[in-house]
Amino acid sequence: MATLASDFYPEVVLQEAGGLSASIYRCFGQQGEYFMTSFARTFEYEGQTYVTDLFRHEHLLPLSHLAQRAYVRIKMLKAKKPDQSTR
């Protein structure tokens, strides 16, 4: 179980046009396994690359599409059963 931020890696990262991304994390708690998603926007300004969780008006529709893709991917991850045996 991840206890430090450095131990916490995304299970899946989805990309969308405009530098948008969704990082899906598999987590474990007292109630069992669950998934969390963070959204980010990467952009360049004056030769530097930045990452933010703030979105402009024109990012909202692509962000909603990305959220739908993340929702579907999480449903797929939940449905996928780990192999018990390869026999």
Q: Are strands 48-52 and 32-45 parallel, antiparallel or unpaired?
A: antiparallel
DSSP 40: E
Residue that is written with structure tokens 């990082």 in the block: 23
> Where are the domains positioned within the chain?
12-78
> 73 phi and psi, to 5 degrees?
-65, -40
Q: Per-residue pLDDT for the chain (87 aa), expressed as one digit of tens each? A: 555 555 679 999 999 999 999 999 999 889 889 999 999 999 999 999 999 999 999 999 999 999 999 999 999 999 986 654 443
> Can you read off the two tokens belonging to residue 11?
């299970």
Tens-place pLDDT, residues 32-49: 899 999 999 999 999 999
